[in-house]
A = this chain, B = another copy of it.
Amino acid sequence: MSTSDKNLSSFLDIASDSDFSIHNLPYGIFSDTADGKRRAGVAIGEHVLDLAVLEAEGLLKLEGGSYFDQPTLNAFIDSGRDNWTSARSTIQTLLSADTDTLRDNQDLQSKALFKQADVTMHLPVHVPGYTDFYSSKEHATNVGTLFRDPANALLPNWTEMPVGYNGRASTVFVTGATDIIRPSGQLKPNPDERPIFAPCKRLDFELETAFIVGQPNKIGEPISIKNAWDHIFGMVLFNDWSARDIQKWEYVPLGPFNAKTFASEISPWIVTLDALEPFKTSIPNQDPKPLAYLQETKSDNSFDINLSVELLPENAESATVISETNFKYMYWSMAQQLTHHTITGCKVEVGDMMGSGTISGPTPDSYGSMLEIAWNATKPVELKGGSTRTFIEDGDTVIMKGYSEKDGIRVGFGEVRGKVLPALNFDFDA
């Protein structure tokens, strides 16, 4: 399969450390300044390849119609795996150094290739539903220790099911679309007094990935684990911004609500599972062995994806890496998550976004949230230039990156970058 042929190269000049090699070809929705029209593109090196142009020129023909001159990728994704395979193969061939069609046609290149720096990225899919899982054992243990009881940090259901909750799809946005306004809500700083209404003082990020559902089911018809992988289209980076003080006060008994619905930020490029194929690995050993409906039918059920978080204070000269971790630490697989999600008959839809949950590794420098890194504000993080952080401050920018690399092939996610603005002023007498 050409995907893993490391000798494959593009006629375009692509840096060896580029996230967007010819092996990647992630899908996004972009517009340029000419008319602002949203359509589908693929990232390649520093460029975006306009798929709507390829389609209009007859160079990208798929079953069932045309899909790329549209403001979301949902129709393309919905059209099914044969089209995913066919599109990837065609685009890879067109970008290859061995194919003259685009390589030798300057006119076509000028129509179809844009500099990423010159375009605006948009939400790649319409997101009908957003769910967030909680599938890192290290993260769940850390949070249980800090929020509840160190002696019983991991709740008894955690090793039996990929615990998750429904999030707020309306709040999922693509990085760059908006800054993060520090949320205000109910806090309870003094356990013996009533709560107050105030700006969140414990603003946090959560380093996650999310997968995008590629094929739906019907209500009442669970997706078996055997078929679950076929329902997944690809992955993005995901920053699940969280207000820890609001969360702590509100989350019992029905789960997080206000604390999680103000900003859920994704990277613009959907990296397909096909592109991640060379980086397959296994989830950790699951003990106890899951119930039958959750038993994976294959062993290569995770991916080796390097992930990092950088913090860039306002006016700082450079960002500080505050976490380096890996997707492979996740205890529950994406297939297990999807099967569990639908087991009682819940319908999932094309474009649904399924957050992994915070991805924490085994050591403090691999934790995926400030809550854990600064251990509930008891171990401030030192940044370049000498300032410290226990949570995220106004003016801070949080940057998440992710990539896989093996045998000379690199496939990356780009980044999620969010800047925090001060809280709104509320005037209740106005």
Contacts and interface: CB of A to CB of B under 8 A. Distances in A.
A412 to B, nearest CB: 28
Contacts of A183: 343-345
A170 B220 contact: no
Interface majority SS (helix, strand, loop, mixed), chain A: loop
Given A197-B293, A255-B255, A262 B164 contact: no
A274 B212 CA distance: 41
A346 B184 CA distance: 11
Contact of A253 (B128, B155, B347): B155
Contact of A257 (B166, B195, B200): B166
State the number of copies, please: 2
Contacts of A147: 253
A314 to B, nearest CB: 19
A258 interface: yes
Contact of A168 (B166, B291, B424): B166
Given A178-B220, A194-B288, A343-B184, A170 B253 contact: no
B344 A164 contact: no
A346 B168 contact: yes
A352 B169 CA distance: 11
A185 B344 contact: yes
Contacts of A219: 170-171, 173, 178, 262-263
A48 to B, nearest CB: 25
A243 B128 CA distance: 24
B246 A344 contact: yes
A288 B254 CA distance: 22
A340 interface: yes
Interface in A221-242: 222
A345 B263 contact: yes
Interface string A191-223: 000111100100000000000000000011010
12 contacts: A128-B128, A157-B252, A171-B346, A181-B220, A184-B343, A185-B344, A219-B262, A220-B262, A251-B254, A255-B256, A258-B341, A258-B344
Given A134-B254, A178-B219, 16 more contacts: A128-B169, A155-B252, A161-B250, A163-B254, A164-B257, A165-B255, A166-B167, A168-B346, A181-B345, A185-B343, A194-B288, A219-B262, A255-B256, A258-B344, A262-B344, A293-B428
